[in-house]
Structure 1
């Protein structure tokens, strides 16, 4: 399947899942086109926090989406170092560092986009510690661990950047926190830059995914000049590459 055909197939899955979530009242109005901030996301945070993989983790990476807001709060409440991706990777240092030992806001405020922007230090990969649990926003996942985001590619780039830096390793558990309706049975088409999740957590169940698939780093051939230009850290790395 060609890349353009894969993109079209992914978009068809996104469209179907977004429409299903809205039709079933599983998400607030206006969720189409976004990483769904589904009803029950607090329950996914609680379910993940019960697992040994969470209890043993010291460092967490999470996207800034609303769906991940409860787990970002929980990370800070559980005294875990939290790296939160800067929205759209719009900084040469594309992660916020939130250290529960030195927060000047309550976890419920620090874990919000505005709160993190206000108090967190922006860091590059050279300043970060290895990630124990990486939580990635998803529109759809299947039980083998294949996932689809909203199509902008930021999660793929964040994970690829962290893999290249040796911060997401074989010991890192990649997690999707989703509504049960986002777990689909069909095969999800994949390209070289796509990664699988190791664990899916819904309000109803925990799914262990046995098929691990990760890129070795950034797949430059899959990036447009516009995408590289829009993301400062990619532009910097391309200059280094020559």
Structure 2
């Protein structure tokens, strides 16, 4: 573990503890993208953004904390690309189309429901994305974020950037509890991306320092990580 990895982990552990101790999330949230209390309010706040109203396509993580946003997107008539858990497929995204769901939005937007009714797609079959919704453990007001440490959000965004589906027009948002918004600096390396908006149950916080990778940073990936994710193994440079 590098010094930056250690610094990020220290931030995670502090935020998990203050979130749980502060009553912002259940006790079993430690070590996860927290399913924080009041997540439904983040969907309402996000729906008030002009960028959301104009969006036709949303990409979201499959975490429980983002379920209300996925549901809201479907109810608002937006197509939702939801990452297959752990990107464990050559077609690592589910497509939830509000015109053809087969289940109520509340069920279709869950991991179990999506696995039942959604089509799996590779990036070559996807359309440009207007809004990326990313799960986070901690964010600061400059837009730097930390996930739970598995790296899937970074890989998904990098893959979509390489495919030309996440562009300068795409906004990235982090729905979180207020206790996950910190004042500290968050260390960033080449593959990290920042968010354009932090969305809490009570407010939307614009973030000024946009940061995005140009694509996959192969030097940051271990052979084990590449082998475990089919779409990476397929694309690995020779």
TM-score > 0.5 by shorter chain: yes
The equivalent position to 1:225 in structure 2, one of 209, 223, 226, is 223
**Residue 37 of structure 1 pairs with residue 35 of structure 2:** yes
Query: Distance in 2 between the 1:187 and 1:28 partners?
Result: 26
Shift of 1:39: 0.2
1:51 aligned residue: 49
1:116 aligned residue: 114
The equivalent position to 2:83 in structure 1, one of 61, 82, 85, is 85
Q: Give the SS at the match of 1:60.
A: strand
**Residue 4 of structure 1 pairs with residue 2 of structure 2:** yes
Query: Distance in 2 between the 1:28 and 1:73 partners?
Result: 22
What do residues 161-188 of structure 1 show as CA deviations (whole Å, max 9, x unaligned)? 0000000000000000000000000100
Query: Distance in 2 between the 1:48 and 1:22 partners?
Result: 24
- Unpaired runs of 5+ residues, structure 1, are none
Shift of 1:29: 2.2
**Residue 127 of structure 1 pairs with residue 125 of structure 2:** yes
- Unpaired runs of 5+ residues, structure 2, are none
2:99 aligned residue: 101
Query: Distance in 1 between the 2:103 and 2:111 partners?
Result: 13
Q: TM-score, normalised by structure 2?
A: 0.99
**Residue 212 of structure 1 pairs with residue 213 of structure 2:** no
Query: Which runs of structure 2 are paired with 1:65-214 in the superposition (5 Å)?
Result: 65-214=63-212
Shift of 1:134: 0.2
Query: Distance in 2 between the 1:200 and 1:27 partners?
Result: 18
Query: Distance in 2 between the 1:192 and 1:37 partners?
Result: 28
The CA RMSD measured in Å over matched residues stands at 0.7
